[in-house]
Structures are given as C-alpha cells and as structure tokens.
Amino acid sequence: MIRLGVNIDHIATLRQARYRGAPTAATPEPDPLTAAQVCLEAGAHSLTVHLREDRRHIQDDDVLKIAGRFRTQLNLEMAATPAMLDFALKVRPAEVCLVPENRAEVTTEGGLDAHGQAQILRPILQKLREAGILVSLFIDPDAKQIEASISLQAPVVELHTGRFADAGEKDRPNELNRLIQAAKQAHQKQIQVNAGHGLRLSNLSSLLSVPHLHTLNIGHSLVSHALTVGLKASVSAFLQAMQKS
C-alpha cells in the first residue's frame, strides 16, 4: 500500500494571512498542530512541513510543537543551508527532505540540483544520517539527478511531479514516462521512491501507474478539498484513491 504524507504548510498559510505580526495575546487559527492530529487520526501516515527561510507559513514553533507530539511521523522539508541543518539536528524529525528554495517563488518550482550541488549536499547528508534522520532529496525525474542521488548515498528520493501535474493531455504521457523510468532507476539501486507536488484526486489514477512508489506527499489540493468536505473526509478521499493502485 502506498503511504500518504500530508503537507500542512497550507494550514499555516491561512493562519498567517490573518495573524502574521498579530499581538501575542491573540489565539491564531487554524492551528497546524491540531490539523496534524486530525490528519493522522484520519489515516495519514506522515506529516510534512516546510520551514522556509522567510517563514512565510510554518514557523519554528510549529515544527517544535509538531515534533514534540509526532516526531516519528514528521518529515521536515528544508533548504540545504547551515542554519537549517542546525535546526534539524536540534529537532531531530524522523525524516528530512532537502529541497531547493527561492524566496521569490510561490511554491517549490523544481527539483534540487543534486548533480550540481553534490559538494554542498554531501556533508549535510552525512550529518543528518549520523543523527539517525532519514534523508530524502526532492529531485526532478531525471537520470542525471538519480545518479547523483545514488552517488550521495541518499536512501530516499522524492520525485517532483509538478511537470506531470501541469502537463496537458498531449504532454502528460511523456511526463508520466519520465517518472516511471526515474522510479525504476532509483529502485534498482534500492533507493526508496516518494513523489509529490501538484498531486490531486483528478490525476492520482494516472500517477499510480508509476512503479515502486512508497509515499505520496500531498498538500495544497488536499487542504483545498478539506475546505468543502472537512479535513478528515479529505484525507480519507485521498487514501481511498491511492488504494485503487
């Protein structure tokens, strides 16, 4: 069975739209910690939070609170920087996913350049591994990036599914094939294959033809769906769609 990881950044985005810079006496809502508990109770297998440099949504305190309750289910997305490495070693989540980060972007626009940044990534991966943290690299479904991940001894890759999700009917088969080939290449080297970005109920059935998928990390679409059906029902709907594989 493919596992579901819920990205709860968007819960914090809604909170920050109202309470960013608000007095400490305020009770900010919605609360990412409460959302995390609801998602796990509904059957989600893990929680993803992206602590960005500009702190546009998830805050340091959110990560600390979630780790305090759900450390073994926590996947921390972060840039490969010394400051974020120090924070991760302090928090010690179950998993860290290294992602590219650009302050100007609305959301992560592409995969990490594991090939071009190998010298930067290698010591960070080593320190995270030594701390007992499972490390994944968020990369495009590209043979060169898979080979770099193998060279870096990354135990997990998360394939960026954005181009597949955004592709039109004509281009989607090609983007799907790229994901299939990347998943096979990683699996042959015993690398765990996760996937995420732009996934929604309407494209899950196509994506599930990709072999060797372990975890799908889904955020925006699941939270958007929850606005009309509720968070528990939204998690359940995505789990049911995934089980059709």
Q: Which of 50, 57, 160, 214 is catalytic?
A: 50
Q: Which of 77, 95, 101, 175 is catalytic?
A: 77
Which burial class, exposed, middle or buried, applies to 243 when counting CB atoms under 10 A from its CB (0-12, 13-18, 19+)? exposed
Facing residues of 5 across strands?
46, 217
Active site residue 50: yes
Q: Which of 10, 57, 197, 225 is catalytic?
A: 197
Active site residues: 50, 77, 197
